[in-house]
């Protein structure tokens, strides 16, 4: 009948593998990251030096990798991840930038400009950098979700829903966060469950600006939901809509 027959050992092994993958972000420690980087440093020393220390602290890089693991994205391709951060992340310290003035100590005016630039940090927040890395790993992400013919069966967000979420993103001194009314939050999650809960491998496709917030909202009720942004659909794959999440109607 086309079924796969497994013995007891194979069943236990598969369950253990699935459990490890679902909790990998909790088990991935700084010590394990250090071992991984030592291995990469032997072949790509300049790649590591251009990111860690100059642009990112080790703890921030660790957080980025944990963010990827939390959503089931492999971190095996360390070179691609590091190269993305080398291009995207801004220098970590204003004193590093001051070196480009060709002097041991920058003037007071220059240091004020550099200090302000360091406070803004447009591309040094781990959450933002995680999204940029995900876009760079689009081929890998899609390959793990697509069917044999390269098709991604995705559920879409209605334009009005994306507009509501975008309008609910607020910026404060601690960063950006989603301020959604409890009733709207409950309705949105309920509609997500209705559209995606019965699917074997549900995939939701949405605007990259709301992707992390949708993932956070759905993580408890739909832990296996894969939330992708439009940037993460690699040209080698074709997205095919099979449903839409809307807040209107029954």
Please provide the DSSP assignment of the chain as one string.
--PPP--HHHHHHHHHHHHHHHTHHHH--HHHHHHHHHHHHTT-HHHHHTTBTTTB-HHHHHHHHHHHHHTT-----HHHHHHHHHHHSPPS-HHHHHGGGTSSS--HHHHHHHHHHHHH-TT--HHHHHHHHHHHTHHHHHHTTS-TTSEEEEEEE-HHHHHHHHHTEEEETTEEEE---HHHHHHHHHHHHHHHTT-SS-EEEE-TTTHHHHHHHHTTT-TTPEEEEGGGS-TTSEEEEEEEE-SS--
Strands 151-157 and 169-172: unpaired
Assessment of whether the complete model's pTM goes beyond 0.85: no
What pLDDT score does 171 carry?
Answer: 83
Burial grade of 105 (CB within 10 A; 0-12, 13-18, 19 or more)? exposed
Torsion of CA 188, 190, 193, 195, to 10 degrees: -70
What pLDDT score does 45 carry?
Answer: 92
Query: Distance between CA atoms of 230 and 168, rounded to whole angstroms?
Result: 20
Q: CA 182 → CA 157, 185, 187, 215, distances in Å?
A: 19, 5, 9, 17
Shortest CA distance to 57 belongs to which of 85, 38, 32? 85
The answer to whether the CB of 234 falls within 8 A of the CB of 140 is no
What pLDDT score does 184 carry?
Answer: 94
pLDDT tens for the 250 residues of the chain, in order: 888 899 999 999 999 988 888 888 889 999 999 999 999 999 999 999 989 878 889 999 999 999 999 999 999 999 999 999 998 887 765 444 444 434 444 454 444 444 444 444 445 588 889 999 999 999 999 999 999 999 999 999 999 999 999 999 988 777 788 999 999 999 999 999 999 999 999 999 999 999 999 999 999 999 999 999 999 999 999 999 999 999 987 6
What pLDDT score does 119 carry?
Answer: 47
């Amino acid at each position: 009948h086309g079924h796969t027959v497994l013995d007891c050992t194979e069943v236990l092994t598969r369950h253990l593998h699935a459990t490890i993958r679902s909790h990998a972000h909790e088990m991935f420690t700084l010590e394990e990251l250090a071992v991984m980087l030592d291995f990469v440093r032997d072949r790509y020393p300049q790649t590591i030096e251009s990111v860690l220390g100059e642009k990112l602290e080790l703890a921030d890089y660790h957080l980025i990798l944990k963010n990827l693991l939390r959503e089931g994205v492999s971190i095996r391709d360390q070179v691609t991840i590091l190269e993305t951060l080398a291009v995207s992340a801004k220098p970590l310290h204003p004193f590093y930038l001051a070196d480009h003035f060709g002097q041991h100590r920058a003037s007071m005016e220059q240091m004020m400009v550099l200090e302000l630039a360091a406070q803004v940090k447009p591309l040094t927040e781990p959450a933002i950098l995680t999204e940029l890395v995900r876009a760079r790993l689009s081929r890998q992400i899609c390959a793990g979700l697509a069917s044999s013919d390269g098709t991604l069966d995705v559920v879409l967000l209605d334009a009005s829903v994306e507009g509501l979420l975008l309008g609910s993103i607020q910026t404060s001194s601690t960063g950006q966060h989603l301020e959604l009314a409890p009733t709207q939050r409950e309705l949105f999650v309920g509609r997500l469950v209705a559209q995606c809960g019965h699917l074997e491998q549900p995939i939701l496709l949405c605007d990259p600006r709301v992707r992390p917030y949708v993932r956070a909202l759905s993580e408890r009720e739909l832990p296996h939901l894969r939330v992708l942004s439009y940037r993460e659909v690699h040209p080698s794959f074709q997205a095919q809509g099979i449903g839409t999440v809307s807040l209107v109607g029954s």
